[in-house]
Every structure is written in structure tokens, then in C-alpha cells.
Amino acid sequence: MRVVLKIKRFNPERDREPYWAEYEVDVEPVDRVLDALEYVKWHLDGTLAFRRSCAHGICGSDAMLINGRNRLACKVLVKELGARITVEPLRGFPVIKDLVVDMEGFFAKYRAIKPYLINDEPPPETERRQSPEERARFDDTTKCILCAACTTSCPSFWANGEYIGPAAIVNAHRFIFDSRDRGAAERLAVLNARLGVWRCRTIFNCVEACPRGIDVTRAIAEVKRALLFSSL
Amino acid sequence: MTTVHRYDAVIVGAGGAGLRAALEVARVTPRVAVVSKLYPIRSHTGTAQGGIGAALGNMEEDHWEWHMFDTVKGSDYLADQDAVELMCQEAITCVYELEHWGLPFDRTPDGKIAQRRFGGHTRNFGEAPVRRACHAADRTGHMILQTLYQQCIKHEVTFFNEFHVLDLLLEDNVCRGVVALSLADGELHLFHAKAVLFATGGFGRMYKVTSNARSLTGDGVAIALRRGIPLEDMEFFQFHPTGIYKLGILISEAARGEGGVLRNRQGERFMERYAPTLLDLAPRDIISRCMYTEIREGRGIDGKDYLHLDLTHLGREVIEKKLPDITDFARTYLGIDPVREPIPVQPTAHYAMGGIPTDVRGRVILDEKNTPVLGFYAAGECACVSVHGANRLGTNSLVDILVFGKLAGRDMAEYIRGADFAPLPKDADGPAREECERLLTSNGSESVARLRETLQREMMDKASVFRTQEGLEAMLTTLKELKDRYRRVRLQDKGKIFNTDLQEALELGYLLDLAEVTVVSALARRESRGAHYREDFPKRNDAEWLKHTLAYRINGEFELRYKPVVITRFQPVERKY
Ligand SMILES: Cc1cc2nc3c(=O)[nH]c(=O)nc-3n(C[C@H](O)[C@H](O)[C@H](O)COP(=O)(O)OP(=O)(O)OC[C@H]3O[C@@H](n4cnc5c(N)ncnc54)[C@H](O)[C@@H]3O)c2cc1C
Ligand code: FES
């Protein structure tokens, strides 16, 4: 099967503006978009830059805009997309080169919600107990791989890059609803700020974008509810 | 211009081993830096699925002595038993520590950490499978990596992300730092340090079908070899029985731990014939060989080179709740619903038992007398303590990275308190700079991708599950040619910014070196043990070969030396399951 891969390219050492380049690639029906990108890099143009590592949707390296949607290149098969595939870098982040974007700002927001268990009580000799129901309460949000597909699909984020974004809220949720955690108030204070969770307009792009199937909007709604009913 | 940094300790690699070590060093000094070619949470530890082994005894009786026995037997008696003993004891503390740091383990009805069965883990010295693998669904590694990274954020550990380490500064047996390439701008950075820890992970990418990430190219191991450090037991490379056909993506042993079985074209559960007690939960080396035997004897599915992993009898509830990620893999990549159809699988290159030799304190050693290199440490898959011997048991790598990451970190913290900064060698960044320049300016006609494809295909063919003298010798000749052609590779990207063309070329260089050590060590070992199976020497030979290989490369020539195995509680006997 032959497909045309149209890639938005930009190398600041060489180009003043981003431009589109087209490559014809022969693919197998089981090939991922990542395989097609690698074909280009390995056999047509070695200067193409993109990130990848695990190649099966776990490490979060290769979120990009594929045919207009945020997806992991390693988790979408070429045959689902038809004969013309367009690939662009994630929106809203500075482009370093081609499909590689600067994620520092994204990780700064992750760090802002204090993404670690907060609990100063001395732990027991063995494990802290947690019932299966308590564990299930935050199961969904433990799946996040920080690929940024959700945040960069969000119109509120496009409108204001300072918005904390769905990924950070998902990770706050993971701790706020963990029965062992005592840091909910600190995190909710961060999320209650001007560029916090209230910027979410429930547009649902993030849910569709999440390659891990996390119900992002629901997590955000639960965080909003926690804010409304907490005594902050 | 090379930027110079000074840190008491530099940790290369931000997977489980590196991060665990960093946390330990950070207890005593803030002057520790983690240098990683990937963002920490992109590290391969995150893909580990099934679980981490520790004899907590939460679901049935268990003891660390049983865990130790299983590990030693699984290793085909090549593991050093003092190290295994320490690991199996410490495993318990390390798992509780993770829980205290917030790791969301699955739970038993009474709120304890849930455990499941895994290959080779048994009760009472081999009687029957035991529930020992602590898990968080089938994303245990993901949760371990995230939890450790979160703790590093809490303790404000300094990270240099997307910095590719190119060289180790070692002179007069004293480590002085590392040189790294910053991918974002192509500049070199020199890290002057009192102590360095390598935690750079495995190198499954030298094989065509592998569960390993693109980034697992053995960088640290090859750099150590180039700097005169011997490599231990490199002939032992584990093939995991259940990789998705052709893709190599792993279907965790947890699938069989939950009751999945392997079947051949006749629908027969063939492991009944080979391992009557542990069946589909026999160790990986054994199952992978049985699978190849089935295939060779024409019982592969449709006569082809794969078999079926059948989960259909487990029911939707178990499959979707306990194995959600691998269910998703089967659906995404194969269009197969494991609830209704079996999954096509074949053995996939998975784990390097060999690597940089260390003692139980993580100190890199130089010879068979265990002489340590001052200030140089290694931990995790890149290291060889040796706790896995000739074959690693499932769930034991996550134990290894935590236990020895921690112990190495602790020793480093101690060491840097008493040590000064050793002066930098003259022209410290010179060799790294030259290596990059040579690749960037080379005008040959060879392509990195083609050389790598040939390497991976040939290694799969000649140095994987079954090996012969003839095949290995042919592989050595192929490697000589490939190395020669590697000198003439031509890059298309000559730029500085995010030059992954250059990075892939560097990585191919490491893979070629490590493939060579693997083949040289395998050729010399004229016996079969664990993952190393010689068709021309099909028996284990303890009289001559109960010893560790140490492979040195001196001026391009290999020298093999051997080191005795530490045997304490369990005398070697024939391995039956
Ligand atoms: C699919 C899969 C499933 C697995 N499941 C299990 C399981 O259930 N249980 C179990 O016990 N084990 C499992 N394993 C094995 C286990 O996950 C690994 O052996 C272990 O995670 C290795 O950890 P590490 O810290 O040594 O290395 P990694 O996590 O691989 O980290 C290596 C680090 O080194 C860095 N690095 C490498 N080269 C350089 C360089 N040149 N410069 C700078 N940085 C560099 C990388 O950026 C990375 O941060 C599994 C392995 C795979 C592949
Ligand atoms: S490469 Fe790891 S998520 Fe795609």
C-alpha cells in the first residue's frame, strides 16, 4: 500500500518559516504512522526529527497532530488513515525542529500541582492499607503518560498558553482522590487560581485526544466539584 | 564551546535504577545531577507490565528464602548467591518503600498489596506456583517510574534531560566525570564529578524482534567497554516467550500468571510435555526453546514461525480488568480481541543478563578479584551483579533496579563524602568531540539504517535462542564487515539542533560493539546454560563452566577471563520444572 506522508517541517538552522514536505512511502497494512516516519528518516531524508522510544503507546514520546487530531504516531495504524496522511507538531508549544516541540513549560505545570504523595504521618512497617474501592477511585488518572496530547488539543490552552491544562489537572486528580494523600488543599489552591481549572470550558477535545482512554473531562469535573465543596 | 558542570555525583540514566539511586544520594547532598537522553518518564522502565517480585506473603505463605531459591534455580545456578540473598531480602523493604511513596498497587480485599503468579516463582522450593508479583494492573513499571520521578521532583533533584552521554572520564582507575551532547542545541557538556553511576538500561535493539524500546542501545555498557572495563556474562540474553508476532511488543507473563496458556497448531497445550509441574509458568529460557522446537517440528500456527497465546477461557472480566494494556495492544496492533481469539506470539529479545560487572554495593569491578574502580558505579539492566545468572526470572528486574539502585546510591553518598574531585584528564572532551566530528564529516556511502537492519537480522538468525559454533563464527565475520562499513557511514543531517541522525549513528556504534562481545563470549562458552543454548554442546557442564565470563577489549582484541560463582545455600543440581 502506498501512502503520501505530508509533514510540516522546520529547522531553525536553515528555514525561516515552516513548510510542507511530501514523501511517498510503501507501507504494510500493520504499519504504524511511526513506521512510516521512520521509513522517511531511514531511507528518504535523514534530517527529519521526531521523538520516539517504546513504539507501543506507553512512553508518551510521540504525540503529534495526525490528520488534524492529536495522536501517538506509534498507536495509530496507517491503514486507518487512508492514502494521504498529514503530520504536524503539537500545537501551542515552541517547535525545536520538525515534529520535536519544547515541553519544558508543560512539565513545569505538571510540577506545579505537586505531583507526589503528600503525607507526613509516619508510615507503618508494612504497607499503608487501602481498600480496592479506594484504589479504584483514582485508577483512571494513574494511566497518564504525560504525552501532552490532551493539553495541546484544548482550545482554552490555545487561547492562553498559561492555562494549567488538562494533563496537570489529571495528575492532581490522581493524588486528590488517593485515600493516602493529605495534600488536596495545597493542590486545589493551585487549581483554583486564575489560570487553573476554571478555564476548562468542557469542550471534550481532551477526552478524544487521550491515547490512554482516560476520561479527562470527568476527572476535571471531579476536581471542580472538590473545589466547590471544599472549605478553601 | 564545551560547558563545564561540577557535581558531587552524576547519574547517567533516569529509569528505575537511576532515579532510585538519585533519591538515595539526594538524602546527603543536593549536588547530584541526573543526565538522561530521554525525558525521565519516557524511560523503558515505564513499559514493564507484570509486576515486581517480593515475598510479602500477602495472599499465601511466602518467604524470601523461597524467592532466593527460585532466583538461583532460574539462573541455572550462575547467579552469585550472596547477591541474590541480599536482593530477595531487600525486595520486601523496597516494595513497602514504593507504597509509602504513593505507588498505587492493586489491593487485596483487606487492603494489602495484591500479588499474582509469575514464571518460575514457587512455594516451598519448587512445589507449585506462588503469588509473589506485586502489581498495579499491567502497568507496574509505569507506576514505579512515575512514583520515583515524583519523589525526585519532591526532593528537587537536578535533571539534564535529552543529554546523550558520549564518554566516561576514567584515568588511573579513578572516575572523573562524563561528557554529554545536548540534543536541543548540539553542544557538548562536561560533567566533572567525584562519582558517576551508569544506569543506562539494556540493549535488545541488536536483535530484529525485540520488546525493547528504540532507545535501548546499550550506550553505557559499550562506553565502559571502550574505557577498558570488562563486561560480564554477555553471552546470556533472554528471549521472552510471548512477543506479538513480528512486532515483538511484549505480552507480559502476567497473562500466563492469570491463567493464559500457549498452544500449537493442533491446539495442544504443548508445555504439558516439557514442564509438567510449572507448565506455562516455567522460566522463559525453557519456554522459548520449547516454542522454537514446536515451530521447527512443524507445529507452528499454519506451519509458520509463531504460536498462540490463548486467554479466551479467562473471561472478559479478568482480561479487561487485570490485563487492560495488553488487551489494548492486541486490539490496536493486531485487530484481535483476546477475549475471543488467541494472540499470535513468538519469542522476543527482551533482557540482557550480562553487563558492567559490579559488586553488591554497585561498585564497578575491574577483574576476577573484584577490584573496584574508584568512583564508578553501575546499576539496573546495564549492570551485572550477578543476580540473574544465565536467565532472569520475571519480576526480578524491577527488584534489581530498586535494590541495587538504592545500594549503589547509598555507597556513592558515602564515597563522595570522603573523596575529592580528581583532576580532569587533559583534553577531556576531545575523544567525544572527535567521535561526533568524524560521523558528521564522514563522506562514505553507507547508511546507518541499512547496517542496523543487517545487524539485527543476522543476530536474530545466528546468536539468539539456538546457537552453534558455525553460526557464531559466521556472525563474527559479519560483524567485522559491519564494523568496517560503519567507518564509512554518511549522515544526511549535519546540523546541530536535535540531530537524531547523529544520535542513531552513535547508537549503532554501541550495538556493534556489544554484539561482538556477545558473540565472542558465546563462542567461547562450550556448554548450554540458561538462555545460552549451544546445539553443539546441549548439556550444562558445571565442571568446566560454572563461572562468569569477563570480556575485555584491549586494542581491538578480545581477552576472556573467568570469575568463580559465589555459592552459599544451594548447590547446583539439574534444573527440572
Ligand atoms: C516490555 C517490557 C516489560 C517488562 N516487564 C517487566 C516486569 O513486569 N517485571 C520486571 O521485573 N521487569 C520487567 N521488564 C524489565 C525491566 O523493565 C527493565 O529491565 C528495567 O526497567 C530496566 O531499568 P533501568 O533503570 O536499568 O533502565 P531503563 O529504564 O531502560 O532506563 C535507561 C535510562 O538510561 C538513559 N540512557 C541510556 N543511554 C544513555 C546515554 N547515552 N546518555 C544518557 N542517558 C542514557 C535513558 O534515557 C533512560 O533514562 C520488562 C521489560 C520490557 C522491555
Ligand atoms: S513511542 Fe512511546 S508512546 Fe509512542
A130·B107 Cβ contact <8 A: yes
Residue A51 CA to ligand 2 centre (angstroms): 8
C-beta of residue B178 within 8 angstroms of C-beta of residue B197: no
Q: Whose CA is nearest to atom 14 of ligand 1?
A: B48
Compare CB distances from B491 to A46, A54, A142 and report the shortest one's residue: A46
Q: Which atom of ligand 2 is nearest to the CA of A73?
A: 4
- pLDDT at A230 (0 to 100): 75
| A231: confidence class by pLDDT, cuts 50, 70, 90 | low
Compare CB distances from A53 to B42, B56, B491 and report the shortest one's residue: B42
Cα B405 from Cα B386, distance rounded (Å): 14
- pLDDT at B576 (0 to 100): 87
Q: Whose CA is nearest to atom 44 of ligand 1?
A: B36
Ligand in nearest proximity to the CA of B325: 1
Q: Which atom of ligand 2 is nearest to the CA of B42?
A: 2
Looking at residues B554-567, what average pLDDT do you find? Answer: 96
Which of helix, strand or coil describes residue B534? strand
Residue-wise pLDDT tens digits, B226-258 = 999 999 999 999 999 999 999 999 999 989 999
Looking at residues B83-87, what average pLDDT do you find? Answer: 98
Cα B527 from Cα B532, distance rounded (Å): 8
Q: By the CB < 8 Å criterion, does B156 face chain A?
A: no
Look at residue B281 and tell me if it is in a domain: yes
C-beta of residue B462 within 8 angstroms of C-beta of residue B530: no
Looking at residues A148-173, what average pLDDT do you find? Answer: 97
A43·B449 Cβ contact <8 A: yes
Bridge-based pairing state of the strands B3-12 and B32-36: parallel
Answer whether residue A1 shows pLDDT above 50.
yes
A59·B99 Cβ contact <8 A: no
Answer whether residue B196 shows pLDDT above 50.
yes
Using N-to-C axis directions, what is the helix angle for B81-100 and B64-74, rounded to 10°?
A: 130
Residue A64 CA to ligand 2 centre (angstroms): 11
CATH of the domain at B448: 1.20.58.100
Look at residue B563 and tell me if it is in a domain: no
Query: What CA–CA distances, in Å, run from B174 to A86, B194, B373?
Result: 52, 9, 6
Cα A57 from Cα B244, distance rounded (Å): 15
Cα A197 from Cα A172, distance rounded (Å): 11
Q: Report the gap between the CA of A17 and the closest CA in chain B (Å).
A: 16
Residue in the structure block whose three cell numbers are 504499519: A31
Secondary structure (DSSP) of A158-215: HH-TTS-HHHHHHHHHHHHT-TT---HHHHHHHHTSTTSGGG-----HHHHH-TT---
Q: Are residues B441 and B536 in the same domain?
A: yes
Question: Which residues of A are less than 8 Å from B99 in CB distance?
Answer: 127-128
Residue B61 CA to ligand 1 centre (angstroms): 31
Query: A31, A41, A51, A56: which to mutate for ligand 2, most atoms within 8 A of CB?
Result: A56
Cα B467 from Cα B537, distance rounded (Å): 9
Answer whether residue B310 shows pLDDT above 70.
yes
Residue B564 CA to ligand 1 centre (angstroms): 28
C-beta of residue B364 within 8 angstroms of C-beta of residue B384: no
Cα B210 from Cα A110, distance rounded (Å): 32
Q: By the CB < 8 Å criterion, does B328 face chain A?
A: yes
C-beta of residue B381 within 8 angstroms of C-beta of residue B397: yes
Question: How many Cβ pairs closer than 8 A exist between chain A and B?
Answer: 158
Ligand in nearest proximity to the CA of B139: 1
Secondary structure (DSSP) of A73-132: GGGSBGGGT-SEEEEEPPTTS-EEETTEE--HHHHHHHHHT--S----SPPPSSPPP--H
CATH of the domain at B298: 3.90.700.10
Residue-wise pLDDT tens digits, B262-280 = 999 999 999 999 999 999 9
CB of residue B503 inside a 6 A radius of ligand 1: no
Please give the residue that has the higher pLDDT: either B544 or A202.
B544
Quote the domain boundaries for residue B310: 245-348
Q: By the CB < 8 Å criterion, does B128 face chain A?
A: no
Query: What CA–CA distances, in Å, run from A104 to A52, B162, B563?
Result: 17, 12, 47
CB of residue B397 inside a 6 A radius of ligand 1: yes
- Residue B176 is classified by DSSP as E
Q: How many CA atoms lie within 13 A of B537 on its CB side?
A: 19
C-beta of residue B551 within 8 angstroms of C-beta of residue B520: yes
Cα B237 from Cα A62, distance rounded (Å): 29
Look at residue B506 and tell me if it is in a domain: yes
C-beta of residue B388 within 8 angstroms of C-beta of residue B207: no
Residue-wise pLDDT tens digits, A12-64 = 999 999 999 999 999 988 899 999 999 999 999 999 999 999 999 999 999 99
| B42: confidence class by pLDDT, cuts 50, 70, 90 | very high
Secondary structure (DSSP) of A21-49: EEEEEE--TT-BHHHHHHHIIIII-TT--
Q: Which atom of ligand 2 is nearest to the CA of A57?
A: 3
- pLDDT at A29 (0 to 100): 80
Provide the mean pLDDT of chain B. 97
Cα A59 from Cα A145, distance rounded (Å): 6
- Residue-level length of chain B: 577
Q: Are residues B435 and B535 in the same domain?
A: yes
Give the Cβ contact number of residue B305 at 10 Å. Answer: 16
From its phi and psi, is residue B173 left (phi > 0), alpha (psi between -120 and 50) or beta? left
Cα B258 from Cα B516, distance rounded (Å): 38
B449·A58 Cβ contact <8 A: no
Select the residue from A25, A80, A117 to test the B interface by mutation, using most B Cβ atoms within 10 A: A117
C-beta of residue B249 within 8 angstroms of C-beta of residue A56: yes
Look at residue B305 and tell me if it is in a domain: yes
Compare CB distances from A131 to B99, B107, B136 and report the shortest one's residue: B107
Positions of B marked catalytic: 284
Residue-wise pLDDT tens digits, B464-520 = 999 999 999 999 999 999 999 999 999 999 999 999 999 999 999 999 999 999 999
Nearest to B264 by CA among B232, B238, B296: B296
Q: How many CA atoms lie within 13 A of B417 on its CB side?
A: 11
Ligand in nearest proximity to the CA of B387: 1
Residue B47 CA to ligand 2 centre (angstroms): 10
For the domain A104-228, what is the CATH code? 1.10.1060.10
> CATH number for the A2-101 domain, one of 3.30.530.20, 1.10.340.30, 3.10.20.30, 3.40.50.720?
3.10.20.30
Q: Report the gap between the CA of B213 and the closest CA in chain A (Å).
A: 4
Which secondary structure element, helix H or strand E, spans residue B166, and what is its range?
A: strand B163-171
Residue B463 exposed, middle or buried by CB count within 10 Å (0-12, 13-18, 19+)? buried
Residues 206 through 235 of chain B touching chain A, CB cutoff 8 Å: 213-215
Compare CB distances from B96 to A107, A127, A143 and report the shortest one's residue: A127
- pLDDT at A232 (0 to 100): 46
Cα A191 from Cα B354, distance rounded (Å): 47
Residue A61 CA to ligand 2 centre (angstroms): 5
B44·A180 Cβ contact <8 A: no
Residue-wise pLDDT tens digits, A71-104 = 999 999 999 998 999 999 999 999 999 999 999 9
Give the Cβ contact number of residue B182 at 10 Å. Answer: 18
Q: Which atom of ligand 2 is nearest to the CA of A51?
A: 1
- pLDDT at B325 (0 to 100): 87
Cα B496 from Cα A97, distance rounded (Å): 11
A53·B500 Cβ contact <8 A: no
Q: Locate CATH 1.10.1060.10 in chain A.
A: 104-228
Bridge-based pairing state of the strands B128-134 and B115-123: antiparallel
Query: B11, B42, B44: which to mutate for ligand 1, most atoms within 8 A of CB?
Result: B44
- The cell numbers describing A231, all together, are 472549605
Residue-wise pLDDT tens digits, A133-157 = 999 999 999 999 999 999 999 999 9
Q: Whose CA is nearest to atom 10 of ligand 1?
A: B395
CB of residue B167 inside a 6 A radius of ligand 1: no
Which secondary structure element, helix H or strand E, spans residue B473, and what is its range?
A: helix B469-486
Q: Is the peptide bond before A153 cis (omega within 30 degrees of 0)?
A: no
Select the residue from A34, A38, A53 to test the B interface by mutation, using most B Cβ atoms within 10 A: A53
C-beta of residue A175 within 8 angstroms of C-beta of residue A181: yes
Cα B513 from Cα B553, distance rounded (Å): 10
- The cell numbers describing B354, all together, are 550480562
Look at residue B468 and tell me if it is in a domain: yes
Q: Are residues B343 and B434 in the same domain?
A: no
Give the Cβ contact number of residue B239 at 10 Å. Answer: 27
CA angle B175, B179, B184 (to 5 degrees): 155
Q: Whose CA is nearest to atom 46 of ligand 1?
A: B13
Residue-wise pLDDT tens digits, B113-170 = 999 999 899 999 999 999 999 999 989 999 999 999 999 999 999 999 999 999 999 9
Of the given ranges (B39-48, B274-283, B406-415), which has the lowest mean pLDDT? B274-283
Residue in the structure block whose three cell numbers are 525545536: A96
Which amino acid belongs to residue A208?
A: E
Question: Which residues of B are less than 8 Å from A31 in CB distance?
Answer: none
Residue A52 CA to ligand 2 centre (angstroms): 5
Q: Locate CATH 3.10.20.30 in chain A.
A: 2-101
From its phi and psi, is residue B238 left (phi > 0), alpha (psi between -120 and 50) or beta? beta
Residue B46 CA to ligand 1 centre (angstroms): 8
> How many structural domains does chain B have?
2
For A16, list phi and psi in degrees, rounded to 5: -85, -35
Bridge-based pairing state of the strands B356-357 and B383-384: parallel
- pLDDT at A30 (0 to 100): 85
Q: For B214, which residue in chain A has the nearest alpha carbon?
A: A53
Question: Which residues of A are less than 8 Å from B137 in CB distance?
Answer: 139
Nearest to B104 by CA among A223, A127, A211: A127
- The cell numbers describing B560, all together, are 576472556
Cα B85 from Cα B503, distance rounded (Å): 39
Residue in the structure block whose three cell numbers are 470527568: A218
Sheet strands (E) in B237-322: 237-244, 261-263, 307-310
Which secondary structure element, helix H or strand E, spans residue B559, and what is its range?
A: strand B557-564
- The cell numbers describing A168, all together, are 496537570
Residue-wise pLDDT tens digits, B19-34 = 999 999 999 999 999 9
Compare CB distances from A115 to B150, B325, B334 and report the shortest one's residue: B150
- Residue B528 is classified by DSSP as -
| B1: confidence class by pLDDT, cuts 50, 70, 90 | confident
A178·B104 Cβ contact <8 A: yes
